[in-house]
Homo-oligomer: A and B are copies of this chain.
Amino acid sequence: MTEPVFNKIAIIGAGLIGASIARAAVQYGAAGTVNLYDSSEDVRQRAAGIALGDVADNLATAVAEADCVFLCVPVGALQAVAADAVPLMKAGAVLTDVGSVKGQATEALAAAADGRVHIIPGHPIAGTEQSGPEAGFPTLFQNAWHILTPLADGDDNYDAAVSTLEAFWTQLGATVETMDAARHDRVLAITSHLPHLIAFNIVATAFDMETVEQGEVVKYSAGGFRDFTRIAASDPVMWRDVFLNNKDAVLECLGRFSEDLAALQRAIRWGDGETLFNEFNRARSIRKAIIDAGQDSGAVNFGRNLPKGDEDEGA
């Protein structure tokens, strides 16, 4: 075994992502030891019960000796946690996060900066619809992208810290990309945030239909609906914070989505089969592009790493 990238890491927030980092860091030798802390005593006990690492009963104990602190909390909680953590960290350590929104996350982390620690926001494009410490598994980041959005004004020490953090995620199996926070938030608004909002919405719409029983919706969900319910099972607090903190980019996507949908609605109402065919045919070619690009056949197919397969579809 080679030297670990970090001798000691601290994970704050022992949910799906935090627990998966803990498991992966140990399994792939990326960290010597793993401290964990969660503000919920229940979660701390569960994390200790499944031996996720050294579970501390306070933030100070968790972060004091850590070479890298991972804040794995909802984006809305980042600012308060970062403000508490930074003064307790040792000089030269790295502070990173896993938030799905990077503009607000960067502001939240930067507000806590005291010049002693390296603040490097990050976001693993990986997850399942499961939550909690028990949901974590070590292969979650295999073949997934990990996006870092480093601050603009870093010196050489900062750049070295970014390289070390990159090495950590690479060792966990991820491919690391660097981009600015605003670009990240625009890209994720359309590739992740809007799809989740749509999925949450269609599930709610389906269950409010008076003309169709909820039992029927469940029974015949294989016709396409079920795919949406899987996405819509994701953690509601995390997603609330995503939408509150990436408002502009999401509203921009949503406006376009609704406009395009109105055009399809009009085509249906007026029996305009040509418009429908052309739009559906175009969507099909985009799927082909994704498969051709290897984004759904191995290169970034972390679905294969899911602990249990409940993936399926029908038409």
Contact = CB atoms under 8 A, between A and B. Distances in A.
Interface of A: 76, 100, 125-129, 144-145, 186-188, 190-209, 211-212, 214-234, 236-237, 239-241, 243-244, 247, 250-254, 256-258, 260-262, 264-265, 267-269, 271, 273, 276-277, 279-284, 286-291, 293, 295-297, 300-304, 306, 309-315
A289 B194 contact: no
Contacts of A289: 214, 218
Among A232, A283, A313, max chain B CB count under 10 A is at A283
A195 B222 contact: no
B145 A220 contact: yes
A245 to B, nearest CB: 10
Nearest to A223: B192
A244 B264 contact: no
A128 to B, nearest CB: 7
8 nearest A-B pairs in the assembled complex, by CB-CB distance? A303-B312, A192-B223, A127-B315, A311-B311, A236-B280, A233-B287, A195-B224, A232-B283
Given A221-B191, A295-B218, A315 B128 contact: yes
27 contacts: A126-B222, A186-B212, A188-B223, A190-B217, A191-B217, A194-B202, A201-B264, A203-B283, A203-B286, A204-B260, A215-B293, A218-B290, A219-B295, A226-B296, A227-B230, A227-B231, A229-B286, A229-B287, A232-B286, A234-B284, A236-B276, A237-B277, A244-B268, A244-B273, A254-B261, A309-B309, A309-B311
Contact of A221 (B200, B254, B265, B296): B296
A140 to B, nearest CB: 9
A204 B276 CA distance: 12
A136 to B, nearest CB: 14
A211 B257 contact: no
Contacts of A256: 205, 208-209
A301 B257 CA distance: 31
Among A128, A230, A314, max chain B CB count under 10 A is at A314
Contact of A283 (B221, B224, B233): B233
A264 B100 CA distance: 19
A301 B303 CA distance: 17
Contacts of A303: 311-314
Contacts of A295: 218-219, 221-222, 226
Given A192-B224, A192-B225, A226-B290, A204 B282 contact: yes
B240 A276 contact: yes
Given A240-B280, A296-B312, A312-B304, A260 B205 contact: yes
A281 B236 contact: yes
Contacts of A300: 219, 221-222
A216 B232 contact: no
Contacts of A198: 198, 202, 228, 261
